[in-house]
Amino acid sequence: MRKLLLSGPAALALVLLLAALSAWPAQATDIESVTLDKRVPVSDTMDAYLAQLTISDTTYGGAYAPDPQNSLFAVLVYNYENHGSTPQTGHLNIAFLDDNGTWYPAVDPGTLSPVGPGQTSYRSTLEIAFPKDRKLVGYKFVKGFQETDFSLPYYMPSGSPTATPTSQPSASTGGSATPTPALPAGAAVLMLIIAGTALAGRRLIRR
């Protein structure tokens, strides 16, 4: 009877593939999505439009939690709007406050490419992790030495929502977007290794 045995490189590719699948984050379950609909000035001629905040029980790939089983994850969805006459790069400095007085900073160091005059950037996300037994009650926008505070009433960790958005703004004026789970950097590198190893190990040894 003939058996098909994977060559060494192909067997290694299979092992790496299983490792990559185990590294992929679990599908996040959204607990609550809150429409923020806030514009904050990041410069004299550029605004950051804060569209919505989504609370999930699993990370979308943008935050580290020392104890993920006892953590929740808040994902801020936003974009930049350039009202000036020259291209600009957006920078955003936000911090969220829980009901225990703890602040959780979320900083966007800058867009990958400048936003053109009169244009709006693609949607971006910032994510923070916080203990499951806490609730977020506010956030602040930081610009230099100036801070602007906003309240954030939305839900209780017990699962009883107190604020649920009933309508969403259109994409042309900001609006909401569902965050997309991100592939961790390590998993992405691993997938590239798998692809190269699989190509090198396509030969099968027949017995």
Q: 46-66 pLDDT, tens per residue?
A: 999 999 999 999 998 889 999
Q: Are residues 116 and 194 in the same domain?
A: no
pLDDT in tens, 165-205: 333 333 333 333 445 444 444 444 445 555 555 554 554 44
pTM of the full structure: 0.64
**Confidence at residue 21, expressed as pLDDT on a 0 to 100 scale:** 43
Q: Which of 84, 97, 199, 70 is nearest to 151 (CA)?
A: 97
Q: What is the pLDDT of residue 7?
A: 53
At 155 the pLDDT is 52
Both 70 and 159 in a single domain?
A: yes
- Give the pLDDT of residue 27: 55
* Segments forming the whole domain that contains residue 41: 27-179
Residues 19 and 109 in one domain: no
Q: Does residue 130 contact residue 67 with C-beta atoms inside 8 Å?
A: no
Q: Are residues 120 and 151 in the same domain?
A: yes
Please name the residue that has the structure tokens 């929502």.
161
Rounded to whole angstroms, the Cα distance separating 38 from 51 reads 7
- State how far the Cα of 142 lies from the Cα of 78, in Å rounded to an integer: 15
- Look at residue 154 in the predicted model and tell me its pLDDT: 59
Residues 193, 16: Cα–Cα separation, whole Å: 8
Q: How many CA atoms lie within 13 A of 13 on its CB side?
A: 17
Say if residue 120 is in the same domain as residue 53: yes
- CATH code of residue 131: 2.60.40
pLDDT of 2 > 60? The answer is no
Q: Is 13 helix (H, G, I), strand (E, B) or coil?
A: helix
pLDDT tens by residue, 4-48: 454 555 555 544 444 444 444 445 577 888 999 999 999 999 999
DSSP code for 159: S
Model pLDDT, residue 117: 97
Q: Give yes or no: residues 64 and 19 share one domain.
A: no
